[in-house]
Structure 1
Amino acid sequence: MSILGVDDIVAWNGAMQSYSKARQWQSVLHLLYEAPKYDLQLTLVTYVIAISSCYAWPLALAVLEEFRRSRLQQDIQDINAYNAAISACNKGEEWQRALQLLSNLPQAQLLPDVVTFNTASSACGKVSEWQRSLTLLQQMQDLQLEATVISFGAALSAAEKGQQWPLALQLLSEMKDGLVAGNVIVFSAAISACEKGSQWLQAMQLLEDLKEVRGELDVILLGAVVSACGNSGQWQHALALLSEMQHDGIQGNIITYNSALSALEKAGQWRSAMRWLFEVSREESLQLDVISYSAAISACEKGNR
């Protein structure tokens, strides 16, 4: 009888999974190494649970290496252990190691699946490696794997962080052509990419497209479009969006209002700037900051006030 009072690996794996859900990775690894002492034959599930529990990528790779050296790697052709390790690299923003694991799959006589590509692409996206993320999406399609909204979302996130708004719009177009339904995450990434590129018209069009998909909008999405308008000096559109938010009962945050104030400052619209500054000051949930006052003061200076 083992220390857990169980004598089969299925129950042992269940205990490991419970520890993993509780984020007690030390206990998971302890059970992994204790199992052979009780003549329990480790399975693929055992290793996948252990690798998935490792929030530190070096530990995940160490467990994967043990799996590779075991007979299981030779007897079971399954991608899940590698996917778990790539996921750990993704969490640790180790995109190069994630890609290395992906490149090692042929040697292990394994074929990547959609999860493999999505996770590796996400790792690239976190560090603005948008070219690599796009390459992974293409490789997945070359292997006749069906790209999902998660696949496109990872590539769009990379495009957004890399400030590649044309690419973001291209990816959305490919999703539409491939009949892949968009969600708020992919639209948010595309809108943010347009915001960073000061593409206010594109951002507003995406907002309208998202309304058709979702219906309701949140302050983050609207704030990004307000910011895009502000960056381009489109103060009328910025104020129109703020009015729409108020009409729909959406509570703006200080970042949203500062974006509008910035648009007014660029255009020297000091009266509107002071009016919005006054309105924001009356909101108990909002607190004006140095950016708010600086934008209003600069607007007055440009308006010779």
Structure 2
Amino acid sequence: MPTITTKDGVEIFYKDWGKGQPIVFSHGWPLSSDDWDAQMLFFLNNGFRVIAHDRRGHGRSAQVADGHDMDHYADDLAAVTAHLDLKNAVHVGHSTGGGEVVHYIARHGESRVAKAAILSAVPPLMVQTANNPGGLPKSVFDGLQAQLAANRSQFYRDLPAGPFYGYNGPGAKPSEAVIQNWWRQGMMGGAKAHYDGIVAFSQTDFTEDLKKITVPVLVMHGDDDQIVPYADSAPLSAKLLKNGTLKTYKGFPHGMPTTEAETINADLLAFIRE
């Protein structure tokens, strides 16, 4: 399996398919690069080089105890892009991966980056604070950690079967295969990485990162997102970005890259080709 070893000795698994302008995909918590199947195949068939890695502690990357924070996530992504010597790359991040992309560009600069897109993404800040009154109370994230610690397998069954894909909504048609694939990806990763990752995605404030970015960024978010509520995320991120465009999807759930792949792929392709 293709892997790189980071400067702190962590093996990171990645996929690298095709030739052409590189598109780099950063997945959501607690999944793996497999969550991008619908995008990787689509963009590969449209003449792009597609790259996706498993975040440390997730998927096929090493299940280490430490470094499950945004600084390490961004540095690991930088290590992959440097190893592959990517230039003029488009970075696409979903959910936690959207935070990873934003932090990577702000922390490592734009010399290798052409554009970015963040989908259903966690920035600017998920947790409620004095400066972020519209955020979710910390007790919500403490509850996620408690469920993970008590019965991770059950928790990873309930999340995709319910709010992640909007399968708990009226008239929803849940796909058993999609639910099982989410569970499979989640259970491949390490409990410690996933436990710590909840703090990383909920408590990292990306406000200053967003302000630093000058490349074009497409902010895509469904207004029926039950995981990263719309009002306190996408519109605020788009406003903080120097060159941000907000695209709002009526009724789309958090997991829209999977359930609404056709729409999302077409809009991403149009943005990349602009």
> TM (normalized to structure 2)?
0.25
Larger RCO: Structure 1 or Structure 2 (Cα < 8 Å, ≥ 6 residues apart)? Answer: 2
Q: Which has the higher strand share?
A: 2
Q: Which has the higher helix share?
A: 1
